[in-house]
Every structure is written in structure tokens, then in C-alpha cells.
Amino acid sequence: MDSLTVVITKSDLTNLEQQQQLEAQLTQLLFQQGFTEPKIFHCSAFTGDGVDVLKAHLIALADNEKQQQNDLGFRLAIDSAFHVSAQDWFYKKEI
């Protein structure tokens, strides 16, 4: 299954032991759902802890996705297709 990024916020309100327990429980739950290697980040908007690491991870994911798309080459997204007969190409105006 695809990789998964999980962000646990307000980590400044817990201690390291609580964070490790939560991460273990979450990892087990995600493993049961088919996610074998989730990336779990603990962040605090209040203190800023973990934000830089998360930001670097997200930038790396975006760069990786962009590189994969570039490797595939140009792909035009087409949402509709029309078939036009030769007689439809000409407009006739009667006087």
C-alpha cells in the first residue's frame, strides 16, 4: 500500500513517553489497515518543534512526485473526445 504521512499536533502538551505510546498504538492500527511504514511526525505550532522536519519531508515528497511525473513524460489530460464527420466541418448558409 502507499506510504502514509501522519502528523500528531500539540506535542508540547505531552511528554516523550506519551508520544511514544501513541506512536506505537497508531503504528499498530495503521499496520492492520495495510500501511507498513507510516511516517509519523510530532509537531507543535506553539513551540515550533518538529515543524522544520515535517516541512523538509513534505518538500521531499513533492520533489519526488514531480520527478516521477517528469520521468513519465508529457501527458495531456483529456476529459472528452468527439468524433466529427467530414460534412460537419463545413458550414452551409442558404440565401
Average pLDDT across the chain, whole number: 83
Percent of the chain with pLDDT over 70: 71
Give residue-wise pLDDT tens across range 41-50: 999 999 999 9
Of 16-25, 59-68, 70-79, the poorest mean pLDDT is in 70-79
**Bigger pLDDT: 67 or 49?**
49
Report the distance separating Cα 41 and Cα 8, nearest Å. 6
Residue with cell 501527458: 75
Instruction: Report the 3 state secondary structure along 13-68.
Output: HCCHHHHHHHHHHHHHHHHHCCCCCCEEEECCCCCCCCHHHHHHHHHHHHHHHHHH
Instruction: Evaluate if residue 69 carries a pLDDT over 80.
Output: no
**Bigger pLDDT: 4 or 82?**
4
